[in-house]
Amino acid sequence: MTVDLGGAAPQVGKLVIPTQVSDHPLSNFSVSVTNNQVFSVAFGDYGGPLFDTLWSYDLSTKTSTKVLTADNGFVLGRTAIDLVRGQIYITDASLTKPLVHVFQITSGMPQELKGFASSGRGLAPREMGWY
pLDDT confidence tier of residue 130, bands split at 50, 70 and 90: low
How confident is the model over 79-94, as pLDDT tens digits?
888 888 989 999 999 8
Do the Cβ atoms of 68 and 77 come closer than 8 Å?
Answer: no
What CA–CA distance (Å, rounded) separates 102 from 91?
9
* Nearest by Cα to 39 from 84, 77, 10, 13: 77
pLDDT of residue 114: 92
What residues does each domain of the chain span?
Answer: 2-130
Do the Cβ atoms of 124 and 130 come closer than 8 Å?
Answer: no
- E-strand ranges in the chain read 2-4, 11-14, 31-33, 37-42, 53-58, 63-69, 76-82, 87-92, 99-104, 111-117
Ramachandran angles phi, psi of 103, nearest 5°: -125, 140
In 3-state terms the chain splits into helix, strand, coil percentages (rounded to 5) of 5, 40, 55
Asked if pLDDT for residue 63 goes beyond 60, the answer is yes
pLDDT of residue 3: 53
pLDDT of residue 32: 72
Q: pTM (2 decimals)?
A: 0.76
How confident is the model over 1-34, as pLDDT tens digits?
555 555 566 555 555 555 544 555 566 556 677 7
Asked if pLDDT for residue 117 goes beyond 60, the answer is yes
3-class secondary structure, 126 = coil
pLDDT confidence tier of residue 48, bands split at 50, 70 and 90: confident
Considering only residues 117 and 25, tell me which one the structure prediction assigns the higher pLDDT.
117
pLDDT of residue 20: 47
